[in-house]
Structure 1
Amino acid sequence: MNKHDPLASVMTPVNVANGLPNAHYIDPDVFEAEKHAVLFRNWAGIGFEKDVPEPGDAMPVSFVGMPLLILRDRSGEVGVFQNTCRHRGMILVDKPGKIRGAIRCPYHSWCYDLDGTLKSTPHVGGPGQNRHDDIDMAALGLIPIRSYIWQGVVFANIDGTAPDFEVAHAHLLDRWREFDQPLHLGGDVSCFTLDVQTNWKLAVENYCESYHLPWVHPGLNSYSRLEDHYNIEEPGLYSGQGTLVYRQLKGDKGEVMPDFPDLSEKWNEGGEYVAIYPNVLLGVQRDHTFAIVLEPQGCEKTVEHIAIFYAVPPADTPDLDALRAKNATQWRGVFEEDVFVVEGMQKGRHGLHFDGGRFSPVMDGPTHNFHHWVASQMTAGR
């Protein structure tokens, strides 16, 4: 390893490592390099399955400038396509909605089926001539993007080079096998966004560790103390934290949300919170899960898209609407408590003499795990 490489010290053991250099948080050129080497090269979260609940539903997404379209076809399958007409590159769908017939380009009216097939090319051979021998319609369908749905999140591998999702994330899929069951969004109250003036990686780093709980989350720490948590570290795969004292939320009359069926005893009072690299933060508990998709909008701006899921549909338990609202309010409060921290670290990264910082060998393993992974991805992408 080149000792003059600024990433060399990042990829050393946690007790001697430095964190990622400032440029990885404030330099647009490094942000652009990370886009390709980290975000496009791996299985990044781009949205939620809930956003396209019925056949024909379409959700356009601009993921770090890449125009994508999440689409549920007539058979109910969700796919992702590049949201670009194959004719002259026009954006096809510019706002969420239902496609009732075909996806029609607003420029020259080329039309695509919900499975991406090119269906019509009006006047392509001249007025009234809708075919031309040199236009191979079978080869000009929408460009599919590899996608996979897990824990309610739509993941996409934009450059197409990652191992299959089941291979890349086999370890976590197995760890959380018990939660591989239907998830139900807890209604509109259970999805919200936070606009944060920070680099997306700082949101991952903060989520990974429990070290900050006593000072940033005093309410949470009052019953789920620092000593009740454990580190989760799987080098090169994911990292996070777990608690041994998850306390189920109760309503005014002692009511609780139904548990996910067939969970093992460890989940009676346990919960786990994991960052699945690069940009999705997940939490699982006995009676609900949540997912946070981090949308990088630049070096110093991130939108956090949050959704909370339950074991049963809200329509089946209307008596628990107030409890779901209380749960969403509680989690939103926790996530908002982190905003000043990640924004403060972002400001701190403009300190010319900051060297990436040092890690607590005991408490910061999950964060170092993420830094090491980012550095290795960037090194491999050179």
Structure 2
Amino acid sequence: MATHPNDLSAVRAPLETAHGLPNAHYVDPAMFEEEKHAVLFASWAGLAVAADVPENGDAVPLEFAGIPLLLIRDRAGQVRVFENICRHRGMILVSEPKKIEGAIRCPYHSWCYSTAGKLISTPHVGGAGHNTHPAIVKDDLGLNEVRSHIWFDTVFINIDGKADPFEVVHADLLERWREFDQPMYHGGADSRFDLQVETNFKLAVENYCESYHLPWIHPGLNSYSRLEDHYNIAAPGKYSGQGTLVYRQLKGPDDMVFPDFANLSDKWDTGAEYVAVYPNVLLGAQRDHCFVIILEPNTQTTTTEHVHLYYADPKVSEDMRARNAHLWRGVFEEDIFVVEGMQRGRAAPSFDGGRFSPVMDGPTHCFHDWVAGCVQAHRTKAQAAE
């Protein structure tokens, strides 16, 4: 029979003998609630991309694991994340994407905030015609800002504010991909799309981490970038994924290709890498374009995949962009029946989390071990606080 969901010792065992996470981690609402705090809120999770707010004053309301947030590019051009609520009575401030022309105005009592989150106006707060009151100190009542960091144009957030700095947590990955620390240009409306998937977000991560499934799920890719051309990437506690030694550029009419990123080493001439940055960001790096996938965990059994494509040049062929988006959408859609099938499989009461191929599944086991470690740490802190 399956192990008790609170017993994670088998998950944290060595790869050769480890089991995957118990079923409850994919189907139980109570476990989903626990993982919100242990996994999503305590780490650097992906929220959006900076390209979602391209101009100063652009604001987009978002929800992350039930929390109302506001992504905004302030007047100085800095991308910020705030709780999308007024400090007066908790009213939602912005209900749809918009340009903030003046101030962020609460629709309830018209308290107003600057795009940097400072409370600047409290009309009639001291009574009719009195816009101040000694008890209401504006400097103490700015918007609640959520700790954020931008890398690879991805807006990472740390909800509980206690994680080590992003640059410390992901120093290895930043060094690994330092050649891509250069301008990246979002392809625009035709280079973004969403996929609604009936699965727990973790299964999307697990599937993305490994190349084991390529011959059967992605026969088109496998026809030129074969299973034997791939290698595992595993950085315990941080990220994992796969790389390929055979990357084939998309070609258009007259053998047109996308411009390459500048000054890349020879490794990228024919290679590419695909990593899952824990807990919910999937990245792809290639010589001529990159992609970012933000996994939005809606419920324990539903996920939205937000896909964004980036290029080395802001002016690439519209036809080529469309071809590329169509190609990647097809690849990512091929994975849907797999992650949805695994989700349905978690209803089997005797499933014990499964076993891993000691050769092929290292990156996936790496993610399971990290999740289990986060949950154990959260439980230890909760017990100590009792």
Residue among 339, 345, 349 paired with 2:346: 349
Q: Which residue of 2 aligns with 1:118?
A: 119
Q: Which residue of 2 aligns with 1:150?
A: 151
Alignment of 1:209-288 (within 5 A): 209-288=210-289
Paired residue secondary structure (1:70): strand
Q: Deviations over 1:142-183 (max 9, x none)?
A: 011111111111111011000111111111000000001111
> What TM-score, normalized by structure 2, do the two folds share?
0.96
Q: Structure 2: which amino acid aligns with 1:350? A: A
How far residue 187 of structure 1 moved from its aligned partner, in angstroms, is: 2.2
Q: Which residue of 1 aligns with 2:328?
A: 331
Q: Deviations over 1:325-375 (max 9, x none)?
A: 111110000000000000000000010110000000000000000000000
Alignment of 1:52-63 (within 5 A): 52-63=53-64
How far residue 252 of structure 1 moved from its aligned partner, in angstroms, is: 2.0
Mapped to 2, the partners of 1:142 and 1:114 lie a distance apart of: 10
How far residue 188 of structure 1 moved from its aligned partner, in angstroms, is: 1.2
Q: Which residue of 2 aligns with 1:295?
A: 296
Q: Structure 1: which amino acid aligns with 2:45? A: A
Mapped to 2, the partners of 1:221 and 1:252 lie a distance apart of: 24
Cα RMSD, aligned residues only: 0.9
1:322 aligns with 2:323: no
Q: Which residue of 2 aligns with 1:45?
A: 46
Q: Deviations over 1:256-300 (max 9, x none)?
A: 100000000000000000000000000000000000000000010
**Which deviates further from its counterpart, 270-279 or 180-189?**
180-189
Q: Which residue of 2 aligns with 1:21?
A: 22
Q: Which residue of 2 aligns with 1:164?
A: 165
- 4+ residue runs of structure 1 moved beyond 3 angstroms? none
Q: Which residue of 2 aligns with 1:201?
A: 202
Paired residue secondary structure (2:375): helix
Q: Deviations over 1:105-164 (max 9, x none)?
A: 011110000000000001111111100001111000001111111111111101100011
Q: Structure 1: which amino acid aligns with 2:143? A: L
Q: Unaligned 5+ residue runs, structure 1?
A: none
Q: Which residue of 2 aligns with 1:139?
A: 140
Mapped to 1, the partners of 2:164 and 2:31 lie a distance apart of: 25
How far residue 63 of structure 1 moved from its aligned partner, in angstroms, is: 0.3
Q: Which residue of 1 aligns with 2:383?
A: none
Mapped to 2, the partners of 1:324 and 1:270 lie a distance apart of: 21
Number of residue-to-residue matches in the alignment:
376
Mapped to 1, the partners of 2:77 and 2:327 lie a distance apart of: 34
Q: Which residue of 1 aligns with 2:382?
A: none
Q: Which residue of 2 aligns with 1:378?
A: 375
Identity %: 65
Q: Structure 2: which amino acid aligns with 1:52? A: V
Mapped to 1, the partners of 2:187 and 2:260 lie a distance apart of: 14
Q: Which residue of 1 aligns with 2:70?
A: 69
Q: Structure 2: which amino acid aligns with 1:27? A: D
Mapped to 1, the partners of 2:115 and 2:191 lie a distance apart of: 29
Q: Which residue of 2 aligns with 1:104?
A: 105
How far residue 323 of structure 1 moved from its aligned partner, in angstroms, is: 1.2
Q: Which residue of 1 aligns with 2:305?
A: 304
Mapped to 2, the partners of 1:83 and 1:152 lie a distance apart of: 22
Paired residue secondary structure (2:194): strand
Q: Which residue of 2 aligns with 1:366?
A: 363
Paired residue secondary structure (1:305): strand
> What TM-score, normalized by structure 1, do the two folds share?
0.97
Mapped to 2, the partners of 1:94 and 1:167 lie a distance apart of: 35
How far residue 246 of structure 1 moved from its aligned partner, in angstroms, is: 0.3
Q: Structure 1: which amino acid aligns with 2:273? A: E
Mapped to 2, the partners of 1:221 and 1:282 lie a distance apart of: 19
Q: Which residue of 2 aligns with 1:180?
A: 181
Mapped to 1, the partners of 2:268 and 2:84 lie a distance apart of: 41
Q: Structure 2: which amino acid aligns with 1:176? A: W
